[in-house]
Homo-oligomer: A and B are copies of this chain.
Amino acid sequence: MDFGFSERTVQLQERLLSFMDEHVYPAEAVHDEQMAAAGDPQYHPPVMEELKAEARSRGLWNLFLPGDEWGAGLTNLEYATLAEISGRSPELAPEAMNCSAPDTGNMEILAEFGTPEQQDRWLRPLLDGEIRSCFGMTEPDVASSDATNIRGSIVRDGDEYVVNGRKWWSSGAASPRCKVAIFMGVTDPDADPWHRQSMILVPMDAPGVTVEKDLPVYGYTHRGGHGVVRFEDVRVPASSLLGEEGSGFAIAQARLGPGRIHHCMRVIGMAERAFDLMCERVLDRRAWGKTIADQGVVQDWIAESRIRIEQARLLVLKAAWLMDTVGARGARIEISAIKVAAPRAATWVIDRAVQAWGGAGVTDGTPLAHLWVTARMLQLADGPDEVHKMAVARRELRRFRPGWRSA
């Protein structure tokens, strides 16, 4: 057991920290000004491309992809600590490094399940940061945390598939830079629940694809946004299917593990950003003849924040290590547990930072309100906490049932 980082990890961390200090943090205000000037939430501001070029030149590009063929070959554990750092500026750093959701997950499954043709058409430009992609799974009309509820359909018709459905929370869909959707839908309604569905690649400019609206999240809309996308009799060549018919659920599972770790580490980075902002504020602000940092309750927040962040981070890192050593199956409890633990720690810490900043915390004078919303969103995205806790409990209880054998 060793809590130290490898030399390669430390070097990448330092490289990324420099990039954050020298480029990302200073770019935040520039980004906000360019967006405000454009007046269009789907505008792609020039500063973003500058950051991407800089990150790429520094070797901070596509670090999320585990394999050697397409990616940097980092382990989940190694990349996790970099994802955390990028989470300190979640609007800019992940995209600058070509490591934003949902593209990362989409690139992963294209790398693992895509045909050479699919990889040429979609994976390469995604890896180059030339286009973006979205993922169409959740549907507004059903409780999608039970994936068997999904109603979107993918029907074979000759050499084509006909895609129908209405998806929401398709992050990034509203951006003109989004060129492809991975759509999940039913191919065989009579199959058992876990083999009923498939995934298919749908170009966003295919006839029948409509981005109905961009969903605000607690008042925020941001670049790319979260789209409601209607697919109406969209026809794509049969070669657009990802993997085999009926493999949708399995691919979704494969996509989940690493994405979960990325999300959780980024949210810990958000918590650390909020922690720093809170500490700076309370040392600076005075009331009743002393700084706020001298108030016992505020010290309690700081200590609690450190304790909560530290515990959540260690749990996520352990989950990443398990992914690397025993695989997603062996890490199932941890993969569910971090989804609960990390956003919870983060929302708590960020909320205390908001409170410490007072009026400036809830408005746009700090990134805190937006960070909170992003972290809060994660308690729902990719399954609400309650579903993950049920999964943990079921698996834990299994050990205590008569006749149970470890396997």
By a beta-carbon cutoff of 8 Å, the part of chain A in contact with chain B is: 1-6, 9, 77, 138, 140, 143, 145-146, 149, 168-169, 215-221, 226, 276, 279-280, 282-283, 285-288, 292-293, 295-300, 302-304, 306-307, 310-312, 314-315, 317-318, 321-322, 325, 333-334, 336-337, 340-341, 354-355, 358-365, 369-370, 372-373, 376-377, 379-380, 384-386, 388-394, 396-397, 399-401
**Contact A363 B303, CB 8 Å, known A143-B285, A279-B400, A369-B218:** no
User: In the assembled complex, how far is the CB of residue A302 from the closest CB belonging to chain B, in whole angstroms?
Assistant: 4
Question: By CB atoms of chain B within 10 A, which of A216, A219, A340, A401 has the most?
Answer: A219
- A336: nearest chain-B partner, CB-CB: B303
State how many copies of this chain the complex holds. Answer: 4
Complex Cα distance, B219 from A391, in Å, reads 34
**Central interface residue in A215, A218, A369, by most chain B CB within 10 Å:** A218
Q: Does A279 contact B386, Cβ atoms closer than 8 Å?
A: no
A219–B302 Cα distance when bound, in Å, is 26
Q: Which of A282, A337, A393 has the most chain B CB within a 10 Å cutoff?
A: A393
Q: Are A149 and B318 in contact (CB under 8 A)?
A: no
**A302: B residues at CB distance < 8 A:** 392-393, 396-397
Q: Which residue of B lies closest to A146 (CB)?
A: B287
Which residue on chain B has the smallest CB distance to residue A304? B389
Taking a contact as CB atoms under 8 Å apart, the answer to whether B293 and A296 are in contact is no
Question: 14 A-B residue contacts at CB 8 Å?
Answer: A2-B2, A140-B360, A145-B287, A217-B219, A218-B220, A219-B370, A296-B390, A297-B389, A298-B386, A303-B392, A307-B392, A358-B384, A361-B380, A362-B373
Residue from B216, B394, B400 in contact with A280 in the complex, judged by beta carbons closer than 8 Å:
B400
CB-CB under 8 A from A138, the residues of chain B are: 359
Q: Are A362 and B217 in contact (CB under 8 A)?
A: yes
Closest Cβ–Cβ distance, residue A301 to chain B (whole Å): 8
Per a CB cutoff under 8 Å, which of B226, B364, B399 touches A216? B364
Pair A303/B340 contact, Cβ less than 8 Å? yes
Closest B residue by C-beta to A333? B306
Chain B residues with CB under 8 Å of A2's CB are: 1-2, 321
Which B residues are CB-close (under 8 A) to A3? 1, 317-318, 321-322
Contacting pair A401 B303 (CB below 8 A): no
* Distance of A378 from chain B, by nearest CB (Å): 11
- Which of A285, A302, A354, A397: most chain B Cβ within 10 A? A397
Separation of A71 and B296 alpha carbons in the complex (Å): 42
Alpha-carbon gap, A304 to B385, bound state (A): 11
Give the CA-CA distance A220 to B363 in the complex, in Å: 9
Tell me the complex Cα distance, A355–B372, Å.
Answer: 15
Q: A219-B369, A276-B400, A283-B397 are in contact. List 14 more A-B contacts (CB 8 A).
A: A1-B3, A1-B4, A2-B321, A140-B365, A143-B285, A168-B359, A219-B373, A279-B400, A293-B397, A296-B299, A307-B340, A311-B315, A358-B380, A358-B384
A304-B340 Cα distance, complex, nearest whole Å: 9
